[in-house]
Structure 1
Amino acid sequence: MKLRLAREALAEAVAWAAHALPARSTAPALSGLLLTAAQHDGGTLTVSGFDYEVSARFQARAEVLEPGAALVPGRLLADLARVLPSGGHEVELSSIGSDVALVCGPVQFELPVIPLEDYPRLPSVPAPRGTVDGALFAEAVAQVAVVAGRDESLPVLTGIRMEFHAEILRLVATDRYRLAVRELPWTPAATSASVSGEEPVVALVPARSLHEIARSLTKGERIAISPAPEEPGSNVLGGLIGFAAGSREATTRLLGADFIRYQSIFPSSYTGSALIERAPLLDAVKRMALVTERHQPLRLSFSPGLVVVNAGGSSEARGRQALDARFDAEQEPIMLAANAGYLVDGLSAIGARFVELRYTTPTKPAVLTGREDTEQPDDSYRYLFMPQRAG
């Protein structure tokens, strides 16, 4: 293997592939990045990482003098690629015996190679099912990932459910106490978004992996999504799902667990609602959380034209802040007690100027949605949380 490429191209390729390097691994081969030089398409260097859960590949343009492949220590290469001298220098990579030589201007390193035969076969990216705007997808994933569970003993709760409908991509996550749903437009490939009938194709993707992939892929490009059915004709996906944008590709395994029946958790109707400017409410919740004892809720008291955020009890620090709210006089005043962290997460995930809080009773699920103005509802993102009993 012998090739030359721009210093910036190597740094970008290595940084992307390093996303798939395991934090710890008992298999030395998995700590490596695979460098593959090929002369097709005018010459390319593909840098790949894999840990059996996630794979990441980046294909960079290169002048390939001798095609070949080498497996080198991944973290070390990532560290070196970040500190190579600038000034328009090219990087030359070449296999020399049991090393890979890296030369950039006046700097030279020799990296020991890891036996290629120990490296597992990289998963291939399935055919794309459709594309979505990269920035919008990253925003949507972040909005639902905030409620995904972290208890690995309940894997179904650590995932984000992706539903591929004809024109809508729906993302859903829950930790049993909260539930977030985000819908966004997407463009299916020539084949139908559904495998059969009107049922959407469904994939349950590890939230942590999906969040990292979506955040890292956004470069103003559209993302091609490639879920793979476990069996031909099935709407439930198993195995892996692939994502690609420009020179970047990634795959992650899917969780083989059935998701909860989340649709029935949302109330079929609401007793009332309040409309509040989001940023002042978020600031008030953060302030009052400072005087809230652990496990004790904040209290939101609604009355015509007003919401009061209360914290603390008779034997501890206390606080309150009143805010303007559109709460109609025909509605009965109500008090909702809620976990401060849950409120902060929900209000932070909504990017709109106003937030609408819909409720039924003080002990049944309440739902937050966003609005850019006071007259236009927007249910593309819904954040449901369970009120607590007031202390």
Structure 2
Amino acid sequence: MRSIGEMARDSGLSVSALRFYDRGGVLVPAWVDPVSGYRWYGPGQLDEARLLARLRRAAMPLADIRLVLAGWSSADTDLVRKLLETHVRRLEAGLADARDEFSTLRALLESREKPMTPPRTAVVRLSVAAPELSGALDAVRFAAGRDPELPMLAGVLFDIEGETLDVVATDRYRMAVARAATSGHADTRVQIIVPTPLVDAMRALLGGEEPVRLAVDGDRVTLESGDGQTAGPCLDHDFPDYRRLVRAPDGHRALVDAGTFREAVETGPVVTSEASGPGGTPADLTLLKVTGDGTVTIGEDRWSDQNHVAVNREYLLAALAAAARDQLALEIGAPTAPIAIRRPDDEHTFSMLMPVRLED
């Protein structure tokens, strides 16, 4: 017999994935300790687990995987072969359709003229209070992207316009926006993407109360404070138009005590879903809903109420910590709409989390 930890190590499936497959009736342990609830797997189940891992990497639906495992255990090779061939044909057809669509998209991109960005002929200089800038960076840093395939998201956007500085970060699954007041620059809008290591170096200088000086010279940004200076090149990419992304659909709004709600999320029930975490790994999801009286509830069963919105619990907890307020406003709409977490006293600082679609 293998413990769930040993099964995870030997099969290539994570412990959370094994729990998920157990609850779904796909790979049920040979024995579960009635006292501790700990799962144990029989010797013959290792091959099934390895087969399951391969099938999921090949994006086979769970309904078909159940049939493959049943055919595998009963040595029904004809059934298994037929299911595999059917899935390969489905993938090939989907890939052909995707190639056609992307060919069209490339043609559309090539036909569009990219607007020329006027060169910066002068250094942009402005002042901002250290506590405001540090608070803004703390509110968005958690959402910065890490995907090497999307280098334009591997930093924080500094959007300077008039006497405001908006800082924005997103990794596609979450987005955070915060604002700081500035002085010394009232000209045209300037946008730069500051790489996350430089953002962290800037944050380390923001320990005082006095204003700090921010300068943009071409593709280089510099932050000066009484404690020192840090500088470096900006990312040579275009950041997505975040202003189009912050228009969340109408939903229900609820005020929550941040500490109480955070504890409820940490200790409350979760649903484990495949491919919902970074890199397509399984993730624990929290099911949220705002009731008619403005109360936020956490669901225990994905089927008990289809109006619950599923969100990555790790991302939710990070957003709550970054909000840094005793009271927060949650805006929750349809199960397919983003969840917004706002500061009631600051309309310009908020974060949005994309919902996770639960498998049928």
Task: Determine the structure 1 residue equivalent to 2:296.
Answer: 307
For the aligned residues, what is the CA RMSD? 2.6
Q: Is structure 2 residue 207 aligned with structure 1 residue 257?
A: no
Task: Determine the structure 2 residue equivalent to 1:225.
Answer: 214
User: Which whole-Å CA distance do the structure 2 matches of 1:365 and 1:313 have between them?
Assistant: 18
Of the three residues 258, 266, 273, the one matched with 2:246 is 266
User: Which whole-Å CA distance do the structure 1 matches of 2:332 and 2:137 have between them?
Assistant: 25
Give the match's secondary structure for 2:287.
Answer: strand
Aligned pairs for 1:176-195 (under 5 A) are: 176-188=172-184, 192-194=185-187
Task: Determine the structure 2 residue equivalent to 1:359.
Answer: 332
Cα distance per residue 1:121-161 (max 9 Å; x no partner): xxxxx966111111221121121111001123321011111
Deviation at 1:184, TM superposition (A): 1.5
Aligned length: 228
User: Which whole-Å CA distance do the structure 1 matches of 2:270 and 2:354 have between them?
Assistant: 21
Give the match's secondary structure for 1:369.
Answer: strand
Deviation at 1:289, TM superposition (A): 6.8
Task: Determine the structure 2 residue equivalent to 1:288.
Answer: 268
Cα distance per residue 1:29-74 (max 9 Å; x no partner): xxxxxxxxxxxxxxxxxxxxxxxxxxxxxxxxxxxxxxxxxxxxxx
Give the match's secondary structure for 1:389.
Answer: coil
Q: Is structure 2 residue 210 aligned with structure 1 residue 210?
A: no
User: Which whole-Å CA distance do the structure 1 matches of 2:353 and 2:343 have between them?
Assistant: 15
Deviation at 1:162, TM superposition (A): 0.4
Task: Determine the structure 2 residue equivalent to 1:369.
Answer: 342
Instruction: Compare the two structures and name the one with the higher helix fraction.
Output: 2
The two structures have a TM-score, normalised by structure 1, of 0.54
Deviation at 1:253, TM superposition (A): 1.2
Cα distance per residue 1:166-206 (max 9 Å; x no partner): 11110011101111111111112xxx433xxxx41111100
Q: Is structure 2 residue 164 aligned with structure 1 residue 168?
A: yes
Deviation at 1:357, TM superposition (A): 1.6
Which moved further from structure 2: 251-260 or 150-159? 150-159
The two structures have a TM-score, normalised by structure 2, of 0.58
Task: Determine the structure 1 residue equivalent to 2:319.
Answer: 346
Task: Determine the structure 1 residue equivalent to 2:62.
Answer: none
Instruction: Compare the two structures and name the one with the higher strand fraction.
Output: 1
User: Which whole-Å CA distance do the structure 2 matches of 1:154 and 1:217 have between them?
Assistant: 28
Structure 1 pair 216–269 and aligned structure 2 pair: CA distance change class (3 A): same
User: Which whole-Å CA distance do the structure 1 matches of 2:248 and 2:171 have between them?
Assistant: 21
Give the match's secondary structure for 1:379.
Answer: strand
Contact map agreement 1:357 1:369 (CA 8 A) in 2: yes
Task: Determine the structure 2 residue equivalent to 1:36.
Answer: none
Cα distance per residue 1:243-284 (max 9 Å; x no partner): 101141110210000011221112265132222111111111
User: Which whole-Å CA distance do the structure 2 matches of 1:249 and 1:388 have between them?
Assistant: 42
Give the match's secondary structure for 1:209.
Answer: helix
What runs of 5+ residues in structure 1 fail to find an aligned partner?
A: 1-125, 231-237, 315-331, 373-377
Give, as a single letter, the amino acid of the residue that structure 2 aligns with 1:200.
R
Deviation at 1:312, TM superposition (A): 6.8
4+ aligned runs moved over 4 Å, structure 1: 289-293, 311-314
Structure 1 pair 385–290 and aligned structure 2 pair: CA distance change class (3 A): closer
Give, as a single letter, the amino acid of the residue that structure 2 aligns with 1:287.
T
